[in-house]
Amino acid sequence: MRNKEVAEKFYELAEVAELAGENPFKVKAYLEAARVIENLTIPIEDLAKEDKLDGIKGVGKSIAEKIKEYLETGKITKLEELKKVVPEGLLELEKVKGLGAKRVKILYEKLGIKNLEDLEKAAKEHKIRDLEGFGEKTEQKILEGIKSLRDKRTDRFLIGIALPIAESIVNLLSKNTPIEKHMICGSLRRMKDTIGDIDILVTSKNPSFVMDYFVQIPFVKEVLAKGDTKSSIITQEGIQVDLRVVENDSFGAAIQYFTGSKNHNVRLREIAIKKNLKLNEYGVFRLDDNAIIAGVKETDVYEALDLDWIPPEMREDTGEIELAMQHKLPTIVDYKDIKGDLHMHTKYSDGANTIEEMARKAISLGYEYIVVTEHAKALGVAHGLSIEEFKKEKEEINRLNRKFYPFKIFLGVELNILSDGSIDFDEKDLDIFDLCLAGIHTGMNQSESAITERIKKVLQIPKVKIIVHPTGRIINGRSEYSVNIDEIFREAKKYNKIFEINASFERLDLSDVNARKAVYEYGLKIAIGTDAHSTESMNNMRFGVGVARRAWLRKEDIINTKSLKEFEEFLREV
């Protein structure tokens, strides 16, 4: 599905068009198209093939043509034309907090600012404060925004950006070239929260055809290298993708080698040497006669070393090899084990879809239940609800439960842990909810002791069951707030509370390290919730499960692997 990719391109088109002084109605149309495409539940490429783009709300003939052009060529002519009249650095300026297209345009026209360096120099020389609509405070915030932006810069990409690109490339190769086997390897296969580049391995009897096709797919921004069996490209998003065609006899060994991690592989090679064997990307060989004894299947590689096969997400050399030697690896949760989503928002608060649309999506994913958890009233920026508004939502949920039986929708709430440790509602008002979540959304700059005490105070509220996005991190964006996680886990154990792995790929919070600690050191249970604000983002559950697998969590450690009947029993105990 290329929806997110196409939406990003239209967001970019809107930004460039506004900077270029295009008609405001066009800019608005591009933005609306981007939002609609981003929230589609059907692949945009399928709609294009069926010539149904005009049927999408907010997509007229002109925009439909641009979508088709991008899907077919990887470019939008209008965007390329506008980029010629807009200095490249202006787009970077829009990433500075507090600067939108209008302000960037003023800075460019009044002070000739074309890039971050110009902006920083002008702010330090106090040239910005005198511009109409800016002022001294804005000037200072701009300097802070520049620093923040530079701190965020990284050569690593979010898994939720990289994995769909890798999957789209594999789909194109599968449909249009004679590949037989394929595997996405590296950090992506290990489900790390960020990745450096994408490694794809395939087998084929016609490698040159595969390589010829690969270097001209729509994703390509630059071809770094093209060979007979290996080629490298840079995608439009700036991610390097390496494609290798390997021999079928070596495919298992190759995917093991290129999956990593480096430390895991070093340990395996040491084990091989002790057994008078040699292990590399071509197979497992006897040292005395160089005869290959394993290579076709990855499981055979591990078996040749007297090890149980180790799931890719566990391959970090943190004890998994020792357990594989002893045949004591835990049976970790599977992606298909999830029976429901416990964290989502609808149009009642700041979501893009109705409850019914979210329910239909959940049913299509094979779920037995969902918990709808709108924001509570204290979070005004997210259209938090009052108790009366929640009662109205409850009425709709009751109606939909009759319609979708035996699938079930539960009424939940995402409460705000306020600066003094209180929550939005009186405890007596919480009885309306089937499940109460609570999380910190403000006051993240408090001291470690203050934030720790805030969370501990909420843990003592009987009706609050789950602490969501417990450390507040935004990957590549915002660091975790200061909190004594061990103290929090100890307190949570006293009250039988649960911690969330937030499956939004910008968060993935708890991290795998903290989730493993919560379960294996403190005996806590985990909930995985997507925090979905649209039907499309409900697909992010796999990223949360990936974190759980990296944390070695088992099915029984995660409450939303329970069947509907088991989950209802759990709620009765809350």
Claim to verify: residue 254 and residue 297 sit in the same structural domain:
yes
Residue 465, helix vs strand vs coil: strand
Claim to verify: residue 143 and residue 168 sit in the same structural domain:
no
Count of domains observed in the chain: 4
Within 8 A by CB and 6+ apart from 247, the residues are 203, 282
Dig out the tokens for 89 from the structure: 């650095």
Of the candidate ranges 113-117, 238-242, 334-338, the one whose mean pLDDT is the lowest: 113-117
Give, in order, the Cα–Cα distances in Å from 20 to each of 26, 86, 105, 276.
Answer: 12, 6, 9, 67
Q: What is the CATH number of the domain that holds 363?
A: 3.20.20.140
Is 559 inside a domain boundary?
yes
pTM of the predicted model as reported, rounded to 2 decimal places: 0.77
pLDDT 10s digits, 335-357: 999 999 999 999 998 888 999 99
pLDDT 10s digits, 366-421: 999 999 999 998 665 567 899 999 999 999 999 999 999 999 999 999 999 998 99
Q: Which of 103, 127, 152 is the last residue of a domain?
A: 152
Claim to verify: residue 315 and residue 451 sit in the same structural domain:
no
Claim to verify: residue 14 and residue 139 sit in the same structural domain:
yes
pLDDT, position 380: 58
Q: Are 526 and 550 in contact (CB under 8 A)?
A: no
Of the candidate ranges 91-95, 416-420, 507-511, the one whose mean pLDDT is the lowest: 91-95
Q: Are 409 and 397 in contact (CB under 8 A)?
A: yes
CA 430/CA 383 separation, integer angstroms: 19
Is 47 inside a domain boundary?
yes
pLDDT 10s digits, 514-539: 999 999 999 999 999 999 999 999 99
As a whole-number percent, the residues of the chain with pLDDT over 90 amount to: 71
Q: Which of 104, 132, 152 is the last residue of a domain?
A: 152
| 443 Ramachandran zone, left/alpha/beta (phi>0; psi -120 to 50) | left
Claim to verify: residue 147 and residue 204 sit in the same structural domain:
no
Q: What share of the chain is helix, strand, coil (3-state, %, to 5)?
A: 50, 15, 35
Q: What is the CATH number of the domain that holds 284?
A: 3.30.210.10
Residue 566, helix vs strand vs coil: helix
Claim to verify: residue 49 and residue 180 sit in the same structural domain:
no
Q: Are 198 and 35 in contact (CB under 8 A)?
A: no
Claim to verify: residue 138 and residue 186 sit in the same structural domain:
no
Claim to verify: residue 89 and residue 215 sit in the same structural domain:
no
Claim to verify: residue 350 and residue 378 sit in the same structural domain:
yes
Is 62 inside a domain boundary?
yes
What does R_g of the chain's alpha carbons equal in angstroms? 26
Claim to verify: residue 81 and residue 175 sit in the same structural domain:
no
Domain that holds residue 309: 250-325
Is 91 inside a domain boundary?
yes
The total of other beta-carbon atoms located within 10 Å of residue 138's CB is 17
DSSP for 94-139? TTSTT--HHHHHHHHHHH---SHHHHHHHHHTT-STTSTT--HHHH
Claim to verify: residue 432 and residue 508 sit in the same structural domain:
yes
Give, in order, the Cα–Cα distances in Å from 80 to each of 26, 84, 165, 412.
Answer: 16, 7, 22, 46
pLDDT, position 381: 58
Is 385 inside a domain boundary?
yes
Q: Which of 266, 299, 325 is the last residue of a domain?
A: 325
pLDDT, position 499: 98
- What ranges make up the beta strands (E) of 205-276? 220-226, 230-235, 240-245
Q: What is the CATH number of the domain that holds 130?
A: 1.10.150.110
Length of the chain equals 574
Claim to verify: residue 8 and residue 78 sit in the same structural domain:
yes
Asked if the model's pLDDT at residue 321 lies above 80, the reply is yes
Is 444 inside a domain boundary?
yes
pLDDT 10s digits, 169-222: 999 999 999 999 999 999 999 999 999 999 999 999 999 999 999 999 988 989
Is 330 inside a domain boundary?
no
pLDDT, position 394: 98
